[in-house]
Amino acid sequence: MDFSAPHVGFVLVAYGISFAVLAVLILATVAKVKSQRTQLARLEDEPDAPRRRKAADQEVPSS
Amino acid sequence: MFKYANPTRFMALSGAMLPWCTAATVALLAAGLYMSLVTAPTDYQQGETVRIMFIHVPAAWMALCVYTVMAIASAVALIWRHPLADVAAKTAAPIGACFTFLALVTGSLWGKPMWGAWWVWDARLTSVLVLFLLYLGYIAVWQTIDEPVKAARIAAIVALVGFVNVPIIKFSVEWWNSLHQPASVLRVDGPAIHSSILWPLLIMATAYTVLFLTLHLVAMRGEILSRRVRQLQLARLEG
């Protein structure tokens, strides 16, 4: 790639924005899973968790 | 296929698939970027700006592809009330919205040096902007309606009604006068572009597709976990 070519700034900005948007999307998606996993572990660790976990497992996680 | 739609089986299967999908995404993106930025030749008219095509076109393809996935999942959710179908549709929407946003922004960055304008109200651009608004509308339905069953039904109807825009986008360059060129890859008589440009484009398109698959699996796992959390919290309140 010739960095002295005309309009090369447009190419770099396009790749930069794509990288930034995809990076934010990946981080946000992974962060959500981690946060849910932590929350679920905390709920399951509480004293009466087995009864509640059984109740939750019996229900299909539909909308 | 319905056998794997059980959330527990899905979690096990997706957990096994994720490392492979992640590795494939990284490898394909690395190869695609190398080919796009290093080995692909410049265009005799467009010069270096032709390299924007390698990220713009796959993003545009994915915008349409993800909406199609969302519409199919919504139809399955409405017709068969499948437990994972609305999870699949709901989690595909933000990813599709990001790809559509990227298609619009990179298109604009390509349009300015080539057409002399950041934006024109061309049939293709306008219909892709409508697609972006449809994604936002779909996400807004999930965010604004408190009752999840009702939100799922309304969101599924929005997705299915909006699907009419997908063929409009695809054929807009043939139905109306447009600054965009007609299809040059997916053609009955074969691709119209040289292999030195075609291969980087196909590799990047495959990378974006595998990236979507990976992110979708992760997002679906997150949504299933969040529904389990909700069920546990409800059970706690009731108990």
Query: Do A37 and B140 contact (CB within 8 A), yes or no?
Result: no
Percent of chain B with pLDDT over 90: 71
How many residues appear in chain A? Answer: 63
**Contact predicate B25/B211, CB 8 Å:** yes
Mapped onto helix, strand or coil, the DSSP state of residue B47 is strand
B224 interaction partners in chain A (CB closer than 8 Å): 61
Does residue B166 belong to any structural domain of this protein? Answer: yes
Tell me if B42 is assigned to some domain. no
Within-domain flag for B41: no
If one compares B202 and A44, the residue with the highest pLDDT of the two is: B202
A13 contacts B109? CB cut-off 8 A:
yes
Q: Is 0.80 topped by the overall pTM?
A: yes
Structural contact between residues B166 and B67, judged by C-beta atoms closer than 8 angstroms: yes
Note whether A63 contacts B152, CB cutoff 8 Å: yes
Average pLDDT over residues B18-29: 97
Number of structural domains chain B divides into = 1
CB within 8 Å: A39 and B229: yes
Could you give the CA distance from residue B75 to residue B53 in angstroms, rounded to a whole number?
A: 33
- Look up residue B223 and give its two tokens: 């949504």
Side-chain half-sphere of B79: how many Cα atoms within 13 Å?
Answer: 7
What residues of chain B lie within 8 A of the CB of A56, using their CB? 228, 231-232, 235
Residues in chain B closer than 8 A to A41 (CB atoms) = none
Q: Sign of the CA dihedral B202, A25, B123, B169?
A: positive
Q: Give a yes or no: residue B186 inside a domain.
A: no
What pLDDT, in 10s, does the model give residues B101-150? Answer: 999 999 999 999 998 999 999 899 999 999 999 999 999 999 999 888 89
What are the tokens at B80? 């068969």
- With 90 as the cut, is the pLDDT of residue B3 above it? no
User: What is the DSSP annotation of B194-223?
Assistant: -HHHHHHHHHHHHHHHHHHHHHHHHHHHHH
Q: Are B100 and B135 in contact (CB under 8 A)?
A: yes
Contact with chain B for residue A25, Cβ under 8 A: yes
CB contact under 8 A, B215 and A32: no
Is residue B64's pLDDT more than 90? yes
The answer to whether A48 faces chain B, any CB pair under 8 Å, is yes
Cα A32 to Cα B227: distance, rounded to the nearest angstrom: 13
| Residue from B93, B69, B73, B96 nearest B84 by CA | B73
Pick from B25, B142, B164: nearest CA to B87: B142
Does A45 contact B at CB distance below 8 Å?
no
For B222, the closest of A5, A32, A63 (CB atoms) is: A32
pLDDT tens for chain A, residues 1 to 63? 777 888 899 999 999 999 999 999 999 999 999 999 999 999 888 766 555 555 555 555 554
Nearest to B102 among A21, A37, A44 (CB): A21
CB nearest to B113's CB, from A10, A39, A63:
A10
d(C-alpha B165, C-alpha B170), whole Å: 9
Contact criterion met (CB < 8 Å) for B113 and A6: yes
Q: Do B239 and A13 touch (CB under 8 A)?
A: no
Range of the domain at B90: 2-36+50-180+191-238
B55: which chain A residues are within 8 Å (Cβ-Cβ)?
14-15, 18
Is B185 within a domain? Answer: no
Q: Which two tokens stand for residue B70?
A: 């969302």
Asked if residue B154 belongs to a domain, the reply is yes
Residue B175, H or E segment: helix B165-175
CB-CB neighbors (< 8 A) of B233 in chain A:
43
CA separation for the pair B21, B214 (Å, rounded) = 6
Contact B232 A14 (CB under 8 A): no
> Distance between alpha carbon B203 and the CA centroid of its chain, in Å?
16
More confident residue, B196 or B189: B196
Q: Which residues contact B195 (CB under 8 A, 6 or more apart)?
A: none
pLDDT of residue B144: 94
Residue with the two structure tokens 């409405």: B78
Give me the mean pLDDT over the B171-176 stretch: 87
Chain CA centroid to CA B92, Å: 7
Any domain includes B171: yes
Which residue of chain B has the CA closest to A54? B232
Is it the case that residue B215 has pLDDT exceeding 90? yes
Residue type, B233: Q
Work out whether the CA dihedral B58, A26, B210, B9 comes out positive or negative.
Answer: negative
Mean pLDDT, chain B, rounded, equals: 91
Residue B174's pLDDT is 85
d(CA B51, CA A51): 58
Average pLDDT, integer, range B181-190? 73
